[in-house]
Amino acid sequence: MKRTRRSTKGFTLIELLVVILIISMLAGFVAPNVLKRLGKAKSDLARPRMAVIENAIKSFEFDCGRLPDDSEGGLEALAATEAPVGLEEKWNGPYLKKSQLLDPWGNQYLYLPEGQVNIGSFDLICLGADGQEGGEGENADIFND
């Protein structure tokens, strides 16, 4: 009688473990770089969002003859559905959606009608990832120009 050998196709357990080990090592090297770039992307996204808010503030100022102030809720006046008291005839809003008033980390932008950085104008400030003043890298404060 003639015996025939059947060849089975597949991977051995050792081969599978080696592949899993290689993939795990690659993920360990790649993941930190990807996360760092994600944080930088959010920081880079804060400036264009600030520009949108700046344009809305300037539109409010053009229409109403003054900047929004704290008595109207500051930046909230830009997203209000009703005109602030005394500006009913001039107001042409809402100028923004409420979601546009949040930075990439979901925090409110700070608005100072009397600029401390931009003397003679207003300041818009993003406090970075930590939502606290100061910081470095991803946590650094971002000011409007």
pLDDT tens per residue across span 17-72: 999 999 998 888 887 777 777 777 888 888 889 999 999 988 988 998 888 887 77
- pLDDT tens-digit series, residues 73-91: 788 888 888 888 888 888 8
- Is domain 17-143 given the CATH code 3.30.700.10 in the classification? yes
pLDDT, tens digit, for every residue of 128-144? 888 888 788 778 888 88
* Per-domain residue ranges of the chain: 17-143
What pTM, to 2 d.p., does this model score? 0.69
What is the pairing mode between strands 110-112 and 123-126? Answer: antiparallel
Distance of alpha carbon 97 from alpha carbon 63, whole angstroms: 18
